[in-house]
Amino acid sequence: MKTDAEIQRAVVHELTWDPQVDIANVGVSVIDGVVTLSGIATSYATRHAAQEAAHRVLGVLDVANDLEVVLPGAMERTDTDIAEAVRHALIWDVLVPHQRIRTTVSNGWVTIEGTVDQAYQRAAAEGAVGNLTGVRGVTNLIQVSTSSPDPDDVRHQIEDALERRAEDAAKRIHVTVVGAKAILSGEVSSWPERTAVLHAAQQAPGISDVESQIRVIVPS
């Protein structure tokens, strides 16, 4: 098992290696495998990139992202400009049913609302908005509408998807379906493996919410 000091050094190296992150403005602290990022990010996208980079490091259990988005003058946009860009981004993303999504922009912070059919569409909408210049943050209030799926059928579909995409992890993951909610528990050996498991569940027909009780256990 890595010590907190070893994890801290590894996270700093990963942030330095990632071209999307300005490591000069990011501080990293680690307590019991939980990483806290502090300092300044120049956009919402780079803030998210720093978070994902930290998650990629073996030994990291959780990440607290306290980076503040401070936009350089050249990246400042009016809320009207951002709102127009948000609408275009949603229209251009083929995964997003843009007609069913409404947005509000206040001081660069974008709130997206509406209803979609599947969880992956909800995530795609947030991704499309979060990469835009001038966006300081995103609040995702999109709901996933579903009929009442058969729990056993959904569970089997998720298990099949896990075997296709993350075969090793599938053997260690337990799936429970309650209504339109999938609850995943068990253990994985890395954060990317955990992400693959969650993505598989999010794409299951009839699932509007995925609760993760998965633990990341790094092999010693």
pLDDT reported for residue 106 = 95
The pLDDT-based confidence of 76 (bands split at 50, 70, 90) is confident
User: Cα separation of 57 and 10, whole Å?
Assistant: 7
pLDDT reported for residue 161 = 73
Structure tokens at 144: 């996933």
Every domain of the chain with CATH number 3.30.1340.30 lies at: 76-144, 151-216
Q: What percent of the chain has pLDDT over 70?
A: 94
Average pLDDT for 126-132: 92
Cα four-point dihedral sign 87, 92, 95, 99: positive
pLDDT reported for residue 81 = 95
Residue, of 196 and 65, whose pLDDT is higher:
65
146 φ, ψ (degrees, to nearest 5): -140, 155
Return the bridge partners of 63, or none: 35
- CATH code for the domain defined by 151-216: 3.30.1340.30
Q: pLDDT at residue 180 above 80?
A: no
pLDDT reported for residue 191 = 78
Q: pLDDT at residue 47 above 90?
A: yes
Every domain of the chain with CATH number 3.30.300.130 lies at: 4-70
Q: pLDDT at residue 166 above 70?
A: no
User: Cα separation of 122 and 174, whole Å?
Assistant: 24
Return the bridge partners of 102, or none: 113
Read off the pLDDT of residues 182-199 as tens digits, 9 standing for 90 and up: 888 888 877 777 887 888
Q: pLDDT at residue 218 above 90?
A: no
Average pLDDT for 201-216: 80
Q: What percent of the chain has pLDDT over 90?
A: 47
Q: What secondary structure does DSSP assign to 58-115, as a single string?
A: TT--EEEEEEEE---GGG---HHHHHHHHHHHHHH-TTS-GGGEEEEEETTEEEEEEE
Q: Contact 97/145 with Cβ under 8 angstroms?
A: no
Task: Please name the helix (run of DSSP H) or strand (run of DSSP E) that holds residue 183, with its range, or none.
Answer: strand 181-188
Question: Rounded mean pLDDT of the chain?
Answer: 87
Q: Please count the other Cβ atoms lying within 10 Å of the Cβ belonging to residue 95.
A: 13
User: Cα separation of 213 and 81, whole Å?
Assistant: 40
Average pLDDT for 50-73: 90
pLDDT reported for residue 164 = 74
Question: Hey, what CATH topology would domain 4-70 get?
Answer: GMP Synthetase; Chain A, domain 3 (3.30.300)
Question: Hey, what CATH topology would domain 76-144 get?
Answer: Histidine-containing Protein; Chain: A; (3.30.1340)
